[in-house]
Amino acid sequence: MAFVKTAQRPGPAGLQTLAVIDIGSSAIRMEIAEISTDGRVTALENLKRAVPLGRDCFATGKIDRRTINLAIDVLRDFQNVLEPYGVRHIRAVATNAVREASNQELFVERVYMATDIAVDVITGAEESRLLYTAVRHAFARAGLTLDDDALIIEQGAGHLDATRLKKGEVLLATSFPLGTLRVTGAVANESRGGAATLDLMKQFIGHALSEINHALHFDEIGQLVMLGAEVRFAAERLQKKEAAGVRKVRRNQLLKFARGTAKLRPEQIAEAYGLPFEECESLVPCLMSYAEIVKRTPVDAIVIPPVSLRDGLILDYIADPTGKSELDAQIYASAENLGRRYQFDEPHARHVTELATILFDALAEEHGLSKRERRLLRVASLVHDIGLFISGASHHKHSEYLINAADIFGIRDADKAIVASVARYHRRALPQATHMGFVSLARKERATVSKLAALLRIADALDRSHSQRIHLKKVELSAEELVLTIDGDQDLALERLSMRAKADLFEEVFGRTVLLQPQRFEDA
């Protein structure tokens, strides 16, 4: 999360002013909001400027120099708007166009050098998390309930972002390459017109959705939540506002509106509805995509809350520790779902996670890490063995690869690299300068990996039998030893043998040997 201080003026006591910037594929948007001490948000201003980042990236793989210059000019103009408001913090994120560009780092660096705005390039999973956060908040304000088998989707210019819930848990949070620019680009070179072009567009969308269905299972969806300016535009013309601005549109209403709009050219839409031309270009492909999704689901109505990525960014900024508990639960559920995808030993993974967490909490003063690292340790513990799906040999390395390639809800790329490395070192060799994943981390992150992996290795050794029979009664740290007292009078021969192979990293990082003792020894 990158915050940049700007010019500031004293405001009313207890109020903070925040600006969030969304650098998307077709436009850069900024919202300025005032936040009170009790968490109430008052929107002060919303700005939007068209910048064709996606048109460059999706066609050539990189962002053109002139487009970068345009983005910088827009952000400078935004900064001029910020100053009178006394904005204290800025959070700027870039999504799929910048994420996919081969010159991503150049874009971020040039923006920072020209404006002092640090841009955070977020993953598709992070986008979905922020949208999920905004939807939950909007539902709560409206007194609505998010269904246990809901699907939340937003089609942007580059991707279709999706969060799929199953039994109330996040089953999947990711992006699919089905953005409006990709749809129009796919049919642009065909010398067709009118109904023939629409038919080709429908075929392209249908083929993409057939592949996406393998992940989302449209026929099992109990509640469909649609986001985005295009579907809000349709909803405003089909349904009056309900509680907190949330609208519910009947499926037949949306399908009929999509069919009618598809017959109009962008200039006709602009004239009929008074919309800017650039917004009209995305309306037809978006509504066609949403209509095809609706047809594949059994839902009778679609829920359309007035939320955006920027709402998620604001909520993310003001969230307190109690508000994070729901996020943590969904993160761990996502990690477990990843484990199930690779047929992990779930009881073992959960038991190792609890043992590792007990060690982390007991040694808090020694390792000096925060709640963030505690979360990363728990995620790494849950998925440390997924590499066994590929092979038993070197499965720790396979785990590292699979984690790096996965989308874990609520875990950013930088944190995912830490999780992957911690899982990689749950067995065998210790971190070394020849290991590319490890040395690519910053020095502070390498130290974090070493500390967390040391704890995971001990926790994994304690469940060497995969029977969950070992439970910790007491954890004591002295100047020379870490003494682990095991609940009950048990034979610890297997665990001591495993500990001799896995306690080496703890001894190297924390400078103590590890001693196991049964409860009877403590009582003696």
List, as one string, the DSSP characters of 335-390: HHHHHHHTT--HHHHHHHHHHHHHHHHHTHHHH---HHHHHHHHHHHHHTTGGGGT
Provide, rounded to the nearest whole percent, the portion of the chain with pLDDT above 90: 76
Return the CA Rg of the chain: 26
CB 214 within 8 A of CB 190: no
Highest mean pLDDT among 290-294, 412-416, 520-524: 290-294
Q: How far apart are CA 402 and CA 396, in angstroms?
A: 10
Say yes or no to pLDDT of 3 above 80: no
Instruction: Give the pair of three-digit tokens for residue 48.
Output: 């939007």
Q: What is the DSSP letter of 160?
A: E
Q: What is the pLDDT of residues 296-334, one digit of tens each?
A: 999 999 999 999 999 999 998 887 433 445 678 888 989
| Residues in contact with 120: Cβ distance below 8 Å, sequence separation at least 6, in sequence order | 1, 2, 91, 92, 93, 94
The dihedral region occupied by 268, where left means phi > 0, alpha psi between -120 and 50, and beta the remainder, is alpha
Q: Whole-model pTM?
A: 0.80
Complete domains list, the chain, with CATH: 16-122 (3.30.420.40), 125-315 (3.30.420.150), 321-523 (1.10.3210.10)
Each residue's pLDDT tens digit, 447-492: 999 999 999 999 999 999 999 999 999 999 999 999 999 998 889 9
End-to-end CA distance of the chain: 52
Q: What DSSP character marks residue 118?
A: P
User: Between the CA of residue 311 and those of 130, 314, 346, 409, 506, what are the distances in Å?
Assistant: 8, 5, 35, 18, 42
Q: Provide the percentage of residues in the chain whose pLDDT is more than 70.
A: 94
Question: Quick check: 241 pLDDT over 90?
Answer: no
pLDDT at 521 over 80: no
**Region 189-200 average pLDDT:** 74
pLDDT for residue 343 is more than 50:
yes
* Tokens of residue 354, six digits: 């609890």
Beta-sheet pairing, 223-227 with 150-155: parallel
Binned at pLDDT 50, 70 and 90, residue 193 comes out as: low
What is the DSSP-derived secondary structure letter of residue 3?
A: B
pLDDT of residue 327: 74
Within 10 Å of residue 476's Cβ, how many Cβ atoms? 13
Left if phi > 0, otherwise alpha if psi is -120 to 50, otherwise beta: which for 488?
Answer: left
Please count the other Cβ atoms lying within 10 Å of the Cβ belonging to residue 479: 6
CA 328/CA 28 separation, integer angstroms: 30
Please provide the average confidence, as pLDDT, over all residues in the chain.
91
What pLDDT is stored for residue 322 in this prediction? 37
Strand bridging mode 472-477 / 223-227: unpaired
Written as one letter, the residue type at 27 is A
Give the pairing type, strands 472-477 and 481-486.
Answer: antiparallel
Q: DSSP string spanning 379-406? A: HHHHHTTGGGGT-STTHHHHHHHHHHHS
Output the pLDDT for position 13. 47
Average pLDDT over residues 204-215: 95
Query: Looking at the DSSP assignment, which residues form a beta bridge with residue 164?
Result: 151, 172
Q: In 3-state terms, what secondary structure has residue 282?
A: helix
The helix (run of H) or strand (run of E) holding residue 301 is strand 301-304
Burial 390-425 (b: 16+ CB within 10 A, else e): eeeeebbbbbbebbbebbbbbbbeebbbbbbbbbbb
List, in sequence order, every residue forming a beta bridge with 121; answer none if it has no partner: 94
Q: Tell me if 415 sits within 8 A of 449, measured CB to CB.
A: no
Cα(290)–Cα(296) distance, integer angstroms:
10
Order across the sheet with 27-35: list the strands: 41-50, 27-35, 16-23, 89-94, 119-121
- Gap between the Cα atoms of 65 and 86, Å rounded: 32
In the predicted model, is pLDDT for residue 276 greater than 90?
no
Give the tens place of pLDDT for each residue, 79-98: 999 989 989 889 999 999 99
pLDDT tens, residue by residue, 127-163:
998 999 999 999 999 999 999 999 999 999 999 999 9
Say which DSSP state 46 is in.
E
Q: What is the mean pLDDT of residues 221-248?
A: 91
